[in-house]
Structure 1
Amino acid sequence: MSPEQVQQLVQEIERKDLSTAAHTWRVVLYTRAMLEEFGVEHGVIDLVTQAAALHDIGKVVIPDAILQKPGKLSDEEYEIIKLHPVAGYARMLKMGVSEEPILNLVRYHHERWDGLGYPFQAKGEEIPIGARVFAVIDAFDAMTSVRPYRSELGDRAAERALLELQAGMGTRYWSEGVEAFTDLFHTGRLDYILHYFNDEVPVPAFAAARREEFDAIKRRVTRGD
């Protein structure tokens, strides 16, 4: 997949919805930190973080009234949201994307270990390993991001999210993925992502000391630098 294609799609996400864009860059950083922690080679890290940046590309076809709704979605609205993995996968194929890590992450990131996810109800080892791990990261960020109905933020939200992930081990989530993410979180390596992001701008605000690092990662994802 060319850097130009990645940049085009990332810009579409940023134009569509600021909250989705902020979520996208948080999960990119969580994903990269996790892969680096486990010594994955740089070429694979770059490809998987590229996939993380595009995992929600299918949301660009979701109506704004649903995607940006401040309160809880109705059952009908949720069914529409659940179409985004298929829409994103179709978009990737139409663009000629052939890299399996990207296609798998876009297609399977809402599947559950017990087979009760969507859109394919894949279960267990039917789910590609990258998508299994990413589902943990994606869920953690969803549970710790700023929302009008959420009173807990920062460390309190993170601890609650980790407990929810652990409660879902073997059902919603791949147990090894939850354990690995929890261990990494407790090293403190992810604190800056949790504390210096918000959902109000396309590229979330960072402490100055982290800004250069983030800009370098964004260039690698969108331009291949």
Structure 2
Amino acid sequence: MEQKDSYTEGHGERVGMFSRSLAEHIGLKDELVHAVQIGGLLHDVGKIGIPDRILNKPGPLTPDEFEVIKRHPVAGWEICRHLRSLGDATLHCIRNHHERLDGTGYPDKLPDSDIPITTRITTICDVFDALATARAYKPAFPTETCFKILREESERGWWDKELVEAFIEMMNERQLFRAINRAKLKPLFARPPAPPSDA
């Protein structure tokens, strides 16, 4: 998939990692943590059947081209649904990661009551990574801009507000942790430098 679409290089891995981290952050059971990680990893596998000229188009898609793109969730589900190792939660993430809580998503226009928390997690992580990553038609947005857009879209009724806030909290904690690790702090009991030799 990544060889076919250079702009999604690492996208599946990142969405899987973000999804696992968010599931752990909110305390989901281990089996759901695993399911959502695999769902995030495989969510775009159906794009393997999308023509390169559409996937890598540098400008806006035409309505017809967007209809082709919208086929990828069901295509991915068709590819994966016969794999015995994948459970219902993972398959739902693959098929329904473009659903919205207000029922305006695709492919099934599900209402919020039919979208489980695992799929809601995958959707938020997918949207964040799409915003934060450069694509053929857009630059990468700064992290704070991505957070702002997620919040605005959750206010429209698209995403789960509580999960969006949990995701932002998790990401801020991760950034703080990385900043602390990058800080070059001197050890408290460092030995003083040796005096210069007279030799």
Following superposition, the deviation at residue 191 of structure 1 comes to 8.5
Supply the AA of the counterpart residue of 2:13.
Answer: W
- Between the aligned partners of 1:51 and 1:27, the Cα distance in structure 2 is 9
Where 1:45 maps in the other structure, the secondary structure is helix
TM-score (norm 1): 0.71
Following superposition, the deviation at residue 175 of structure 1 comes to 1.3
Supply the AA of the counterpart residue of 1:69.
Answer: K
- Structure scoring higher RCO (CA < 8 A, sep ≥ 6) equals 1
Supply the AA of the counterpart residue of 1:142.
Answer: A
- Between the aligned partners of 2:6 and 2:92, the Cα distance in structure 1 is 24
Asked if 1:126 corresponds to 2:114, the answer is yes
Distance 1:183 1:98, change over 3 A: closer
Q: For residue 160 of structure 1, what is the aligned residue in structure 2?
A: 145
Following superposition, the deviation at residue 75 of structure 1 comes to 1.2
Q: For residue 206 of structure 1, what is the aligned residue in structure 2?
A: none
Supply the AA of the counterpart residue of 2:124.
Answer: V
- Between the aligned partners of 1:50 and 1:98, the Cα distance in structure 2 is 8
Distance 1:67 1:37, change over 3 A: same
Distance 1:145 1:90, change over 3 A: same
Following superposition, the deviation at residue 106 of structure 1 comes to 0.7
Supply the AA of the counterpart residue of 1:161.
Answer: C
Asked if 1:178 corresponds to 2:164, the answer is yes
1:111–1:122 contact (8 Å) kept in structure 2: yes
Following superposition, the deviation at residue 17 of structure 1 comes to 2.1
In structure 1, list runs of 5 or more residues that go unmatched: 1-12, 193-225
In structure 2, list runs of 5 or more residues that go unmatched: 179-199
2:39–2:94 contact (8 Å) kept in structure 1: yes
- Between the aligned partners of 2:176 and 2:41, the Cα distance in structure 1 is 18
Give the counterpart of 1:147 among 135, 157, 170.
Answer: 135
RMSD of the alignment, in Å? 2.3
Distance 1:191 1:63, change over 3 A: farther
Q: For residue 111 of structure 1, what is the aligned residue in structure 2?
A: 99
